[in-house]
């Protein structure tokens, strides 16, 4: 029992379940899932579908944060990736051709990967602080996206492209499968190879890792490339949902929500030990919250206030001080050794 | 002044301290001695309020006291200076001294009053230091003295100094001792913890020896022979260094494994020539900042060379990174375990296998079972305690952290092992174990560079000794031809030209 209580994912999961429970009580239809034409529908399914872009971005962010870095440019990379894909599709003769869409997707992800490489270059080769290095692209990226689309919002009508965000496979949304695939790929790369442990070593103590022969530069650089590529895919899903390349609105603030998801999942911003499962739970917390805000009918202008409030509560619950406070509380209910009593009748000269 | 009776502290099922009595009189310097895990730090923490006693009584100046936290202990007149200086380098000297109890005027901190106050305290200690200067700009030694100034700025009755000399050189230690003696005459009771027996004998009136969490006894320093003290700490006949046949020449007889010619690096070493024979231990003696660490780092690819050639088995090599050096069988263990060595939050297991894993590459993960087996065999071979592979390495004692580092490097089966102060800040038992291990490794054909600030240790362990001074290797001689005194003269005197 204590093992369960002490597990690092205990509080994130409790938070998520609490949120779902509150929603379910307030509106029982929240947890109902219906089957229509072999496709599942319901609020929970929508959460699974809509969380995909944030999931991808947050996974990349987890790896970058584990190296003691941060990637603020993910939202801008999303905008660039959407712009690249839609410009290619728009410019082709046949937007509905699968080949066209495939090429567009590959080129967009490749561009995103190169942008991640640029971030990695600034951080590892030039030694610029991650927050500053990625700020460059965060600011410049959207401008670049506008350049690509020629300053307008490119819209396309392409069924295969639309499928990414609204299609279904085996009764579940395609976007969900993309997210699951990313979780599995990242999980396998990090935990079935030595990359995870080496990434943590670099994040905890870069100099000691270098002296131990760890290729710190490659590992950190790789993390930014992964983050860039995943943001690229996220940008595609976003663009697919709206069928438009909207450089000003694609992935706005997503870097902050991704950081929040990572933190909610129990990974420290100081780098080192990271938890992919934690990030997954963190993303679902944020997405469920988003859905709650919508349901409560809170005007969009005020929704950030509500959001901030709930997040503050969750973060406070997870803080070390609160945790040890709760642990003490449960300890006090049980009889213990003389030490505790001594401390209680403590008198200081 | 301070009396502890029947002190017991438990961590779960284990008692870190069992029924220990300890007395501290006003105006005396008292040393607490013991190996790692003897319970020294536990007792200190209990005295300074960082830890609560499970059983036992703490009496301060006749009153029974219980401290809820270190702050309460401080308020009661117990000042502490820890081994790792716990000050803020970006603040001024005065701000550090007065931190938390700044003199205020109308609720606002008065910078002038603070500087005056700090200046008085510093002068009191015989330190003429600008209180407004930034702490970080001063040497470690001065920072250490500022930490003491901070501890005594409150009305201090008991001063606890935990390994205060571990980062100080000889002159600085002398300065510290002068201040300790000064405080002694004022009637402050001083608890002085150090691994350096010389210093304990120089400054302490009495010693209390702990072993495995229990009290061995309390002795007057002048009545206790050094050999007896060590024996009481170890609980066995003072373990002799295993003797081994040593080479007696100025030049290595065996095949030269590593040959450095005219090696200079941007930081600290100029035109160094070093030969390292197979199965040889080359001791390196020199003061802090003499270039001994720069030499080690230049030989192992940590710092890049500006000029010079390093040959390994007569083939010239470019050691442009620790990784490259490792692939050639040259490995380096840093003097700064916490900063450059251990990855504190990773487990002992991960720490031991770190270098081997990175040598194999990211994709070829060592199978989990093999990793455990490998790490467990090193934990056993080097007697790493506690033998818990999943414990974060940062929670081990200094000596055990050093062993974890050694295990990490030895797992690579290196040909050349460069150890920069491997025995710094660790207890006598672990020290002897590491010295013996170095001997065994050399007997098995490994070449070792062994740097130590303790000249006797360099002489005991090394076959030959290289003396580094002002960034140059000024002399290499067979260890048997040197004595501690003659070596000291070489290390210390820049005007005596030995070349």
Cα–Cα dist A201/B394, whole Å: 13
Cβ-based neighbours of A327, under 8 Å, separated by 6 or more: none
Token pair listed for A57 = 């971005």
Q: Which residues of B291-303 are buried (b: 16+ CB within 10 A; e: fewer)?
A: bbbbbbbbbbbbb
Does residue A47 lie in a domain region?
yes
- The partner residue sitting opposite A211, judged by closest CB among B60, B340, B363, is B340
Q: How many structural domains does chain A have?
A: 1
| Chain centroid offset of residue A286 CA | 10
Cβ-based neighbours of A290, under 8 Å, separated by 6 or more: A50, A307
Question: Measured between CA atoms, how close is A157 to chain B, in angstroms?
Answer: 42
Give the β-pairing of B305-312 and B256-265.
Answer: antiparallel
User: What residue of A is the nearest CA neighbor of B301?
Assistant: A211
Question: Measured between CA atoms, how close is A281 to chain B, in angstroms?
Answer: 23
Contact with chain B for residue A273, Cβ under 8 A:
yes
CB-defined contacts A:B, below 8 A: 113
User: Smallest Cα–Cα separation from B220: which of B230, B209, B229, B207?
Assistant: B207
Does residue A311 lie in a domain region?
no
Q: Which residues of A320-335 are buried (b: 16+ CB within 10 A; e: fewer)?
A: eeeeeeeeeeeeeeee
Which secondary-structure segment (H or E) carries B78? strand B78-81
Give the β-pairing of B29-33 and B78-81.
Answer: unpaired
The pLDDT score that the predictor gives to residue B482 is 84
User: Smallest Cα–Cα separation from B257: which of B314, B303, B302?
Assistant: B314
The pLDDT score that the predictor gives to residue B496 is 42
Residues (pLDDT < 50) of chain A are 1, 335-349
End-to-end CA distance of chain A: 41
Question: Measured between CA atoms, how close is A5 to chain B, in angstroms?
Answer: 18
Token pair listed for B311 = 């040959």
Residues (pLDDT < 50) of chain B are 237-240, 495-499
> Which residue's structure tokens are 């013991």?
B34
What domains can be seen in chain B, in order of their start residue? 2-234 (3.40.50.300), 256-492 (3.40.50.300)
Cα–Cα dist B268/B291, whole Å: 5
Does residue A141 lie in a domain region?
yes
Q: What are phi and psi of B278, to 5 degrees?
A: -65, 135
Contact A208 B345 (CB under 8 A): no
Cα–Cα dist B90/B98, whole Å: 14
Contact A194 B363 (CB under 8 A): yes
Q: Which of left, alpha, beta for B262 (phi over 0: left; psi -120 to 50: alpha)?
A: left
User: Smallest Cα–Cα separation from B22: which of B6, B41, B45, B38?
Assistant: B6
Question: Measured between CA atoms, how close is B436 to chain A, in angstroms?
Answer: 24
Cα–Cα dist B465/B488, whole Å: 12
Cβ-based neighbours of A308, under 8 Å, separated by 6 or more: none
Measured between beta carbons, which residues in chain A are less than 8 angstroms from residue B61? 349
3-state secondary structure of A67: coil
The answer, yes or no, to whether ipTM is higher than 0.85 is no
End-to-end CA distance of chain B: 55
Q: Is A78 exposed, middle or buried (0-12, 13-18, 19+ CB in 10 A)?
A: buried
Contact with chain B for residue A346, Cβ under 8 A:
yes
Q: CB neighbours (10 Å) of residue B149?
A: 23
Token pair listed for A215 = 């290729």
User: What residue of B is the nearest CA neighbor of A347?
Assistant: B66
Token pair listed for A341 = 């009593």
Cα–Cα dist B364/B359, whole Å: 10
Contact with chain B for residue A198, Cβ under 8 A:
yes
Which secondary-structure segment (H or E) carries B4? strand B2-11
Q: Could you give the angle at which helices A276-295 and A254-264 cross, rounded to 10 degrees?
A: 120
3-state secondary structure of B308: strand
Domain encompassing residue A298: 2-303
3-state secondary structure of B105: strand
Q: Is A341 exposed, middle or buried (0-12, 13-18, 19+ CB in 10 A)?
A: exposed
3-state secondary structure of B195: coil
If interface means Cβ-Cβ distance under 8 Å, which residues of chain B face chain A? Answer: 10, 52-55, 60-61, 63, 65-68, 72, 75-76, 302, 321-323, 326-327, 332, 334, 339-346, 350, 354-355, 357-366, 408
User: What residue of A is the nearest CA neighbor of B340?
Assistant: A208
User: Smallest Cα–Cα separation from A210: which of A221, A198, A222?
Assistant: A198
- The partner residue sitting opposite A349, judged by closest CB among B65, B322, B365, is B65
Does residue A343 lie in a domain region?
no
Does residue A88 lie in a domain region?
yes
User: Smallest Cα–Cα separation from A74: which of A135, A17, A14?
Assistant: A135
- The partner residue sitting opposite A208, judged by closest CB among B55, B323, B340, is B340
Cα–Cα dist A213/A194, whole Å: 14
Q: A8, A197, A212: which to substitute to probe chain B, counting the most B Cβ within 10 Å?
A: A212
Q: Is B277 exposed, middle or buried (0-12, 13-18, 19+ CB in 10 A)?
A: buried
Token pair listed for B28 = 């005396």
The pLDDT score that the predictor gives to residue B385 is 83
Between the CA of residue A108 and those of A173, A236, B253, B337, B456, what are the distances in Å?
Answer: 22, 8, 65, 46, 66
- The partner residue sitting opposite A348, judged by closest CB among B76, B302, B344, is B76
Strands (E), B196-255: 206-211, 214-220
CATH number at residue A224: 1.10.3470
Give the β-pairing of B330-333 and B416-420.
Answer: parallel
Contact B343 A205 (CB under 8 A): yes
Q: CB neighbours (10 Å) of residue B267?
A: 14
Write out pLDDT tens, residues B375-422: 999 999 998 888 889 999 988 888 889 999 999 999 999 999 999 989
| Chain centroid offset of residue B340 CA | 14
Does residue A335 lie in a domain region?
no
Contact B346 A342 (CB under 8 A): no
Contact with chain B for residue A214, Cβ under 8 A:
yes
> Which residue's structure tokens are 């290196």?
B414
User: What residue of A is the nearest CA neighbor of B355?
Assistant: A212
CB B259 within 8 A of CB B473: no
3-state secondary structure of A169: strand
3-state secondary structure of B460: helix
Does residue A314 lie in a domain region?
no
Question: Measured between CA atoms, how close is A204 to chain B, in angstroms?
Answer: 6
Contact B354 A209 (CB under 8 A): yes
User: What residue of A is the nearest CA neighbor of B73?
Assistant: A348
CB B359 within 8 A of CB A213: yes
| Chain centroid offset of residue B353 CA | 24
């Amino acid at each position: 029992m204590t093992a369960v209580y002490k597990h690092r994912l205990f509080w994130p999961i409790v938070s998520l379940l609490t949120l779902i429970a509150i929603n379910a009580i307030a509106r029982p239809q929240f947890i109902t899932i219906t089957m229509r034409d072999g496709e599942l529908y319901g609020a929970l399914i929508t959460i699974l579908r809509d969380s995909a872009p944030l999931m991808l971005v947050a996974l990349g962010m987890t790896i970058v944060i584990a190296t003691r870095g941060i990637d603020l440019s993910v939202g801008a990379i999303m905008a660039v990736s959407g712009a690249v894909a839609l410009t290619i599709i728009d410019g082709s003769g046949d937007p509905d051709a699968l080949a066209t869409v495939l090429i567009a997707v590959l080129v967009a992800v490749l561009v995103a990967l190169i942008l991640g490489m640029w971030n990695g270059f600034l951080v590892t080769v030039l030694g610029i602080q991650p927050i500053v290095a990625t700020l460059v692209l965060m600011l410049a990226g959207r401008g670049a996206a506008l350049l690509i689309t020629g300053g307008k919002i490119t819209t396309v009508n392409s069924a295969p492209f639309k499928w990414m965000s609204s299609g279904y496979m085996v009764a579940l949304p395609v976007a969900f499968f993309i997210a699951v695939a990313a979780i599995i790929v990242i999980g396998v790369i990090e935990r079935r190879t030595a990359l995870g442990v080496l990434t943590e070593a670099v994040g905890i103590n870069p100099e000691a890792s270098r002296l131990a022969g760890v290729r710190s530069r490659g590992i950190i650089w790789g993390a930014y490339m992964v983050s860039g590529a995943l943001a690229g895919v996220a940008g595609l899903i976003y663009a697919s949902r709206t069928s438009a390349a909207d450089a000003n609105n694609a992935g706005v603030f997503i870097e902050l929500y991704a950081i929040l998801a990572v933190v909610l999942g129990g990974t420290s911003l100081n780098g080192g030990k990271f938890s992919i499962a934690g990030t997954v739970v963190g993303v679902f917390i944020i997405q469920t919250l988003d859905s709650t805000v919508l349901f409560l009918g809170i005007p969009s202008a005020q929704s950030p206030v509500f959001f901030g409030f709930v997040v503050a509560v969750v973060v406070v619950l997870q803080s070390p001080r609160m945790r040890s406070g709760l642990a003490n509380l449960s300890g006090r209910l049980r009889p213990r050794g003389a030490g505790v009593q001594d401390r209680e009748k403590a008198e200081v000269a | 002044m301070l009396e502890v009776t029947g002190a017991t502290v438990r961590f779960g099922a284990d008692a870190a301290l069992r029924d220990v009595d300890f007395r501290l009189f006003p105006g005396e310097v008292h040393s607490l001695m013991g190996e790692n895990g003897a319970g020294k730090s536990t007792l200190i923490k209990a005295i300074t309020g960082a830890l609560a006693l499970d059983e036992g009584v703490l009496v301060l100046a006749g009153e029974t006291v219980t401290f809820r936290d270190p702050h309460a202990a401080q308020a009661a007149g117990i000042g502490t200076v820890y081994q790792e200086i716990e000050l803020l380098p970006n603040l001024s000297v005065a701000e550090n001294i007065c931190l938390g109890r700044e003199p205020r005027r109308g609720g606002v901190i008065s910078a002038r009053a603070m500087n005056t106050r700090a200046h008085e305290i510093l002068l009191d200690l015989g330190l003429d230091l600008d209180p407004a200067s930034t702490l970080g700009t001063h040497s470690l030694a001065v920072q250490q003295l500022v930490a003491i100034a901070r501890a005594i700025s409150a009305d201090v009755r008991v001063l606890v100094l935990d390994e205060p000399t571990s980062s100080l050189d000889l002159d600085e230690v002398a300065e510290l001792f002068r201040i300790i003696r000064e405080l002694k005459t004022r009637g402050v009771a001083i608890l002085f913890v150090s691994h350096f027996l010389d210093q304990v004998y120089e400054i302490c009136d009495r010693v209390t020896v702990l072993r495995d969490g229990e009290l061995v006894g309390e002795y007057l320093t002048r009545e206790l022979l050094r050999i007896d003290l060590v024996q009481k700490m170890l609980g066995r006949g003072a373990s002799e260094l295993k003797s081994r046949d040593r080479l007696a020449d100025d030049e290595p007889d065996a095949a030269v494994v590593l040959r450095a010619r005219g090696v200079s690096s941007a930081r600290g070493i100029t035109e160094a020539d070093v030969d390292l024979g197979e199965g040889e231990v080359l001791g390196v003696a020199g003061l802090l900042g003499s270039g001994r660490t720069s030499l080690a780092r230049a030989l192992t690819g940590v710092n890049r060379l500006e000029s010079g050639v390093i040959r390994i088995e007569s083939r010239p090599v470019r050691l442009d990174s620790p990784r490259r050096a490792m692939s050639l069988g040259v490995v380096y263990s840093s003097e700064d375990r916490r900063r450059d060595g251990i990855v504190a939050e990773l487990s002992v297991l991960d720490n031991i296998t770190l270098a081997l894993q990175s040598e194999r590459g990211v994709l070829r993960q060592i199978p989990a079972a093999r990793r455990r087996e490998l790490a467990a065999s090193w934990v056993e071979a080097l007697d790493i305690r506690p033998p818990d592979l999943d414990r974060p390495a940062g929670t081990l004692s200094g000596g055990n952290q050093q062993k974890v580092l050694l295990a990490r490097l030895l797992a690579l089966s290196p040909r050349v092992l460069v150890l920069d102060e491997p025995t710094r800040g660790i207890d006598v038992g672990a020290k002897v174990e590491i010295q013996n291990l170095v001997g065994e490794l050399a007997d098995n054909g490994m070449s070792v560079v062994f740097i130590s600030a303790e000249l006797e240790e360099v002489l005991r362990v090394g076959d030959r000794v290289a003396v580094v001074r002002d960034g140059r290797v000024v002399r290499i001689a067979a260890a048997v031809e040197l004595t501690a005194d003659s070596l000291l003269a070489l290390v210390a005197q820049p005007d005596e030209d030995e070349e």
